[in-house]
Structure 1
């Protein structure tokens, strides 16, 4: 006869797929990620078939980025002031409604299409901090790391499989119907999530918008590890991601004489990210913050692999390791914010994360090519690699960086630089 399980024994937690509220949220975040990824890719196909010019494509994508950057902090404010579920709903509906207007603008001057892209970007930006805060409401604290890993895993699978499928569908459907499909994804993102536990504050208790924004900044300052990690992430994206986005295609063409290296490196990166998501879903290192920052620092291998006289296999291996490292950072980073930040201010703090990390990426993209012309490609790649290594290393020195947490005393007082 088997002995009974001791009452204090640790039992394995049930799979997250058995939690309907998380499954609905996971499907919604996957749909929003797919819609976000698909739009620039489909518009790129429109340039190839002559429906859209390259100049118009640049204007439309710039408008979408502007809408995203404006809406991210506003979305964070609204998500903390009102129901996170309501912010996801209205931002998704906004993006879904604007997408057909983009389709109508394909054969017109770019103003209409750019205006619609601005609205789509605003919907995309407003939903991001709301989704982060809603995840913390829907998922129990002990399950959040697995939940964040599952969400990022779905995003990586999308980026791995969707390009080929989209290009294949474009030969049958055309770019305009494909854009309309993204509106359906936005509808799914808006309608699928269930309600969270956060409720709107009484109207009489609400402070002005600027006051609540400053409260979010004050909450972020209470977590020195968050400010340091955000600074490192911003530097790595602006330097590492931007350098490889601009210079990897050139290296593929000039060093190896084939675009296959570009495609192979990006595929290896996505494959590494998938592996990283699987690892971090099952592994919680003792010093989680330092491990995450070390994973972020691995991004320096990407520009470094483009300098050294190595074969394509080494480049692919470097990008695969970078992909693993990115997810070793992303999942603990999101989980720590959901754990450490005051729940009523989580969306505002998350909006700062997206605003800075995504906001400075266009700056890096704009500066890399002129810098390479002025100082040489190798010099720029070396500088970017050093920045990717140094920024997380410096962030690791911040209070609380070892575990992405601060002690209870520090949590109850504002962070002081003195």
Structure 2
């Protein structure tokens, strides 16, 4: 009886799910993903040279935080208009080929920015126009980019792949600004713009080396127009509460949380008086926080659901923003930005992964385009609003106010409004049923 009882007791205990750092990095077991990740890391590091240099030189030329906010508008506004086309391209064509075309366009825009500055021209509106040209290709690029990640790994490793894709972006955010600070202080903006253009060759080489994905875009009739396909995606999203919640969280981050990435320019120049090097270190702190959070967001802790991760990420995001806005000194501000960067990755990666896991494969590109468009619209709105408030009230009250609103919004989402609750981020995968989902 004891033997039977012991056997029964042993069999009744389920095996522990895999966890730990090695498990969170499991997407690297796949050759195509590793090649893509390395190329993207190098290219995005170059992109962050430009992302820091443009607002820096604009603030030097104009002395206005509002102009810094305009960078976000011109960087993301084209993506808002071209998002439906980008989503249709991602679902109708081989995503690898789409990425080759869009990345080439972004490289051309980057080299034009370098040529403009190297020629001695210093016109703010022309700088913004070139930012907008890069933003146009970026808007076409993003739906295929985010959907392409799911083509490189099996579904069981998708959370790891999505999170590691966010990691390389944020690792680039840590390294790129630090290099930009050195370049701006020692050699000037021209070198930062030039190296950004060169960096695109790495991701283009990676896309060329990737093989075996085939026609990665799901079969969608080319006879359907872009408007009809996009309308189908909107109807689909309306019936999926989990995706709606992810869009709402993206808006909160865009309007309240993301502008701090641009306003570090104002804090470095007008609050802490640290110059280009100090600005680079502030932005590097944001990336370091994201890197430190990677094991958490990529599934290294098996008991942590996406909804719980986003819930606490939003709460601490608000607290960290208040701490940065009220920072008594530069060192305290740097540590606060480490927390901001970690919370940003936890929240954005969490909602992005949730959508990737929930959405039907046949609509993946278009739904990701909708999510990107919502984020794209909220980023410049937040940047312009907080840039204007910074000119009016000052940078400290603006960031502290944004943090307080973020904290209040997170508490309201935790309590929930009908279907709009953060726990909907854990909704299951749609098995490609074309009929609208019923309200659960």
TM-score, normalised to structure 2, is 0.76
Structure 2 residue 369 is the aligned partner of structure 1 residue 351: yes
CA distance in 2, matches of 1:100, 1:404: 40
| Cα deviation code 1:303-325 (max 9, x no counterpart) | 32256586666544443333322
The reply to whether residue 215 of structure 1 matches residue 232 of structure 2 is: yes
Q: Which runs of 5+ in 1 are unaligned?
A: 1-7
CA 1:112–1:368 in 2, change beyond 3 Å: closer, same or farther?
A: closer
Equivalent pair of 2:246/2:355 in contact (CA under 8 Å): no
Q: Does the 8 Å CA contact 2:259/2:383 hold for their aligned counterparts?
A: yes
Given the alignment of the two structures, is residue 224 of structure 1 paired with residue 241 of structure 2, yes or no?
yes
1:277, 1:47 → 2: CA distance? 33
Instruction: String of CA shifts for 1:177-222, please: whole Å, max 9, x gaps.
Output: 5433323322332342225354567786531110011112122223
Partner deviation per Cα, 1:302-359 (whole Å, 9 max, x = no partner): 3322565866665444433333222222333222222211112112211222222232
Deviates more, 1:127-136 or 1:198-207: 198-207
Distance 2:55 2:329 in 1: 30
The aligned residue for residue 345 of structure 2 is 327
Distance 1:286 1:271, change over 3 A: closer
Equivalence for 2:162 = 148
**CA drift at 1:21:** 0.6
Of 388, 401, 406, which residue of structure 2 is paired with 1:388? Answer: 406
The yes-or-no answer on 1:406 pairing with 2:413 is: no
Closer/same/farther in 2, CA of residues 204 and 403 from structure 1, 3 Å limit: closer
Describe how 1:219-298 pairs up with structure 2 within 5 A.
219-242=236-259, 245-246=262-263, 249-250=266-267, 253-254=270-271, 266-281=283-298, 282-298=300-316
Contact 2:315 2:407 in 1 (8 A): yes
Cα separation, 1, equivalents of 2:283 and 2:31: 33
After TM superposition, list the pairs within 5 Å mapping 1:76-87 onto structure 2.
76-87=87-98
**Are 1:119 and 2:136 matched, yes or no?**
no
- Work out the number of aligned pairs and report it: 407
1:188 is aligned to 2:195: no
CA contact (8 A) 1:91 1:190 kept: no
Matched residue SS, 2:422:
coil
- CA distance in structure 2 between the aligned counterparts of 1:46 and 1:132, rounded to whole angstroms: 31
Measure how far apart 1:91 and its partner are: 0.3
* TM-superposed deviation, 1:129: 1.5
Q: Residue 404 of structure 1 aligns to a residue in which SS?
A: helix
Structure 2: which 5+ runs fail to align? 1-14
Q: Report which stretch shifted further, 325-334 or 175-184.
A: 175-184
What is the root-mean-square deviation of aligned Cα atoms in Å? 4.0
